[in-house]
Amino acid sequence: MAANTTEKRALDAYSEAVSRAAETVGPAVVKIDVLGRPRRGRQGDGTGTGSGVIFASDGRVLTNEHVVRGSHLVRVTLADGRRFQAGVEYADQAVDLAVLRIGAVGLPVAELNARPLRVGQLVIAIGNPYGLNWSVTAGVVSALGRTLEAGPSFRLTDLIQMDAPVNPGNSGGPLVDADGRVVGITSAVMPFARGVGFAIPIATALNALSRLEEMREHQQHRLGIGGIPAEIEPDIRRRTGLTQQQGLLVLEVVPNSPAARASLRVSDVIVEVEDQPITSGEALAAAANQTPGGRLRLSFVREGRLRKTTAVLREGTN
């Protein structure tokens, strides 16, 4: 009888730890749907599904690079059901990590925890395996510092090996500890093996995020806007008469900048500058820098409608 009571208490404590961790991080876990451009001679429609986790309240999502590789349209679904088009802000195949950005603020955020793990430590994986949204599996850290052949020309190193069941669709989702802190990004399952999964340590992700911040500092320009290329959905192109397939999705507007004074907002999609198509931040920066102290005419899509505005540039504006 005493043995049964002890076993029940242990199971209750385990269940409570898994439930608490899942409830803590769950609101920050997202589903990622990807539409890619099918390659010639390849079957299928180029679609795919993965997972991700929101790590910044301004709409940044951490996932695997292989989840969004080759994509031309990425949609992110939040735990509360809201859906957003996303842009790929950063991708590094060498570590299989990518950062997406969606046009939303004040989002639930997961805590990234780079403290060392221990073999045998409880870990919980949350994601969307086989389209079964927000599924939770649990296990332990089986080993640390693993290496996985990820392709003919490169390998992933310093991986976390765990026995928490992971399946297609889990990729990019968070691996969390008993306190719901993200300790890794689920990356792969070993082919033809059962019960063996891998995750990228958060320390690796933090190094990648540092590189992203350095890139962002170099990409600032006088208009006072930040954005990434994004697909213009076919129904919007038909409605507005646009022929280009991509524009620049606005993700940041610096307060009191020319862009802010021109009433541009996060989630607008800039499509033309001075009647010329714009599909990248570099092209927009070049156009702004070629108009010193002048006026920049912009066309953009907001809520499915094509709109126009004029940004008045001033010297010294970042």
Q: How far apart are CA 12 and CA 17, in angstroms?
A: 9
CATH number for the domain formed by residue range(s) 122-208: 2.40.10.10
Q: H helices of 219-274, where?
A: 234-240, 258-261
Is residue 27 scored above 90 in pLDDT? Answer: yes
Domain definitions of the chain by residue range:
2-102, 122-208, 220-312
In sequence order, the 6+-apart residues with CB closer than 8 A to the CB of 39 are none
Strand partners, 250: 227
User: Which tens digits make up the pLDDT trace of 63-115?
Assistant: 999 999 888 788 999 999 999 888 888 888 889 999 998 888 889 999 999 99
Q: How far apart are CA 304 and CA 317, in angstroms?
A: 30
Question: Looking at domain 2-102, does it have CATH number 2.40.10.10?
Answer: yes
So what's the pLDDT on residue 292?
A: 60
Q: How far apart are CA 305 and CA 204, in angstroms?
A: 41
Q: How far apart are CA 307 and CA 298, in angstroms?
A: 8
DSSP secondary structure letter of residue 164:
S
Answer whether 2-102 and 122-208 agree in fold: yes
Report, at the CATH architecture level, how domain 220-312 is classified: Roll (2.30)
User: Which tens digits make up the pLDDT trace of 133-187?
Assistant: 888 999 999 999 998 877 666 788 899 999 988 887 889 999 999 999 999 999 8
Is residue 39 scored above 50 in pLDDT? Answer: no
Q: Mean pLDDT across the stretch 55-65?
A: 93
Q: Are 45 and 38 in contact (CB under 8 A)?
A: yes
Q: Mean pLDDT across the stretch 275-304?
A: 82
Reported confidence tier of residue 190, pLDDT bands at 50, 70, 90 = low
Q: How far apart are CA 286 and CA 288, in angstroms?
A: 5
So what's the pLDDT on residue 42?
A: 38
* Residues with catalytic function: 66, 96, 171
User: Which tens digits make up the pLDDT trace of 196-252?
Assistant: 889 999 999 999 888 877 766 555 557 888 777 888 888 889 888 898 888 988 877
